[in-house]
């Protein structure tokens, strides 16, 4: 039996309405010892926690239109993470195993079942463990299936990615470039725009916060129109895209991060373009495509090792920094995939 640890956790204090703030979360130190798992369960030491757009969605009141259950006020927030098994009563998992999947925002997590965990296959100098919160985890598979399965891309097509510097966007742009598409991304700072072009190989990029008129900005970047839009943002960005889409264009709706902190979502006014341009718009979520994870993993690990794909993370250190880092995801403060490294200083 492993040494029993005390714990530190992030709790949701109450359902969030409007802008997410630090007061909505509480950091709690537990002096009671961790229990040992029941039969079939695991005790995890969490190493990297992942902050994603969908975390905010789960902080709102329960709503049948959400894809995931809301968190329970007063309870520990859960999230994707990378963890090490430190005690196991499940036959397929052993002490020392590294796993990724859904865990708690806390130092140690007792899971009754490893249903949402995947054993980590590759780690080496070129494949940091934290990548399993991003490029090799949920955001990576989301980008891959969203682009290849939902967008039906063809070589030479023009692709627009909003929130292009996020955990998913930076990958969509690179997948599109590998396919021979013309790719433009948007982000919220000059620094990110430069990195999109110089580090990630986007053909062009713009700072949406500096554009007077998004419709004009897209027209400038896509004089021949947009064939594929990878939608991470929503609201007025979608309206501007719709009028710039080409006939038979495709829109993969991955998320609408501009909307998650709003009490009422912005109206989208240009849906008539769906008809006139015969656009296909399709929402999707990664869990529907988990059967594709093994082939995705092999391909992307190879891309990483060959230097064909790069990935940028924004890593903060320590659970105390996690609430502020999560808030930053919705203002675009993070530069790359937002990860929280914990439990490294014991």
Burial of 225 (0-12, 13-18, 19+ CB in 10 A): middle
For its own copies, the binding residues in 231-270 under the rule CB under 8 A are: 234, 238, 242-243, 253-256, 259, 264-270
User: How many Cβ atoms sit within 10 Å of the Cβ of residue 264?
Assistant: 6
Q: Which is nearer to its own copies, 256 or 304 (CB)?
A: 256
Q: Which is nearer to its own copies, 57 or 195 (CB)?
A: 57
User: Which span (112-120, 279-287, 320-328, 329-337) binds its own copies, by CB under 8 A?
Assistant: 279-287
Taking CB under 8 A as the rule, does residue 4 contact its own copies?
A: no
Taking CB under 8 A as the rule, does residue 67 contact its own copies?
A: yes
Query: Residue count at the site for its own copies (CB under 8 A)?
Result: 36
139 Cβ partners below 8 Å, 6+ apart?
50, 52, 133, 166, 167, 168, 171, 337
Q: Which is nearer to its own copies, 253 or 326 (CB)?
A: 253
Taking CB under 8 A as the rule, does residue 281 contact its own copies?
A: yes
Burial of 63 (0-12, 13-18, 19+ CB in 10 A): exposed
In this chain, which of 59, 168, 221, 279 binds its own copies, going by CB under 8 A?
Answer: 279
Site string for its own copies, 124-143 (x = CB under 8 A): --------------------
Nearest-angstrom CA–CA distance, 23 and 331:
17
Taking CB under 8 A as the rule, does residue 3 contact its own copies?
A: no
128 Cβ partners below 8 Å, 6+ apart?
none
Q: Which is nearer to its own copies, 86 or 281 (CB)?
A: 281
* Closest by Cα among 50, 46, 55, 51 to 7: 46
Q: Which is nearer to its own copies, 7 or 142 (CB)?
A: 142
Taking CB under 8 A as the rule, does residue 65 contact its own copies?
A: yes
* Closest by Cα among 174, 179, 166, 322 to 258: 166
Cα distances (angstroms) measured from residue 134 to each of 269, 288, 341? 33, 18, 13
In this chain, which of 148, 280, 308, 333 binds its own copies, going by CB under 8 A?
Answer: 280
Nearest-angstrom CA–CA distance, 49 and 343:
11
Residue 233 is classified by DSSP as S
User: Which span (59-67, 72-80, 294-302, 309-317) binds its own copies, by CB under 8 A?
Assistant: 59-67
Q: Which is nearer to its own copies, 266 or 321 (CB)?
A: 266
Q: Which is nearer to its own copies, 75 or 276 (CB)?
A: 276
CB of residue 126 to its own copies, shortest distance in Å: 33
CB of residue 293 to its own copies, shortest distance in Å: 18
Taking CB under 8 A as the rule, does residue 345 contact its own copies?
A: no
Cα distances (angstroms) measured from residue 128 to each of 10, 54, 124, 334? 25, 24, 7, 19
How do 226-231 and 42-50 pair as beta strands? Answer: unpaired
**Kind and range of the H or E run holding 325:** helix 322-331
Only one residue has tokens 């290849």, namely 148
In this chain, which of 22, 38, 191, 288 binds its own copies, going by CB under 8 A?
Answer: 288
Q: Which is nearer to its own copies, 15 or 284 (CB)?
A: 284
Footprint on this chain of its own copies (rule: CB under 8 A): 64-67, 234, 238, 242-243, 253-256, 259, 264-285, 288
């Amino acid at each position: 039996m492993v040494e029993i640890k005390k714990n530190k956790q992030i709790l949701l204090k109450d359902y969030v309405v409007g802008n997410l703030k630090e007061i909505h979360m509480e950091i709690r130190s537990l002096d009671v010892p961790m229990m040992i798992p029941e039969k079939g369960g695991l005790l995890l030491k969490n190493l990297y926690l992942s902050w994603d757009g969908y975390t905010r969605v789960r902080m709102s009141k329960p709503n049948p239109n959400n894809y995931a259950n809301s968190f329970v006020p007063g309870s520990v927030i859960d999230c994707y993470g990378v963890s090490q098994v430190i005690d196991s009563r499940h036959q397929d998992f052993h002490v020392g195993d590294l796993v990724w999947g859904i865990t708690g925002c806390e130092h140690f997590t007792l899971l009754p079942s490893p249903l949402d965990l995947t054993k980590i296959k590759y780690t080496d100098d070129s494949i940091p463990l934290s990548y399993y919160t991003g490029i090799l985890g949920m955001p990576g598979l989301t980008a891959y299936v969203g682009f290849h399965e939902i967008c039906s891309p063809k070589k030479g097509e023009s692709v627009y990615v909003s929130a292009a510097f996020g955990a998913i966007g930076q990958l969509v742009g690179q997948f599109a470039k590998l396919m021979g598409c013309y790719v433009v991304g948007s982000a919220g700072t000059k620094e990110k725009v430069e990195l999109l072009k110089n580090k990630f190989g986007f053909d062009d990029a713009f700072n949406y916060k500096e554009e007077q008129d998004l419709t004009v900005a897209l027209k400038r970047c896509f004089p021949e129109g947009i064939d594929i839009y990878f939608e991470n943002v929503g609201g007025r960005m979608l309206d501007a895209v719709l009028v710039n889409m080409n006939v038979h264009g495709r829109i993969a709706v991955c998320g609408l991060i501009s909307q998650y902190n709003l009490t009422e979502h912005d109206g989208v006014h240009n849906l008539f373009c769906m008809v006139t341009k015969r656009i296909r718009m399709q929402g999707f979520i990664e869990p529907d495509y988990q059967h594709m994870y093994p082939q995705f993993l092999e391909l992307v690990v190879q891309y990483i090792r060959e230097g064909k794909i790069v990935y940028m993370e924004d890593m903060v250190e320590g659970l105390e920094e996690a609430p502020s880092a999560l808030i930053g995801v919705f203002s675009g403060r993070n530069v790359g995939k937002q990860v929280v490294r914990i439990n490294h200083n014991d």
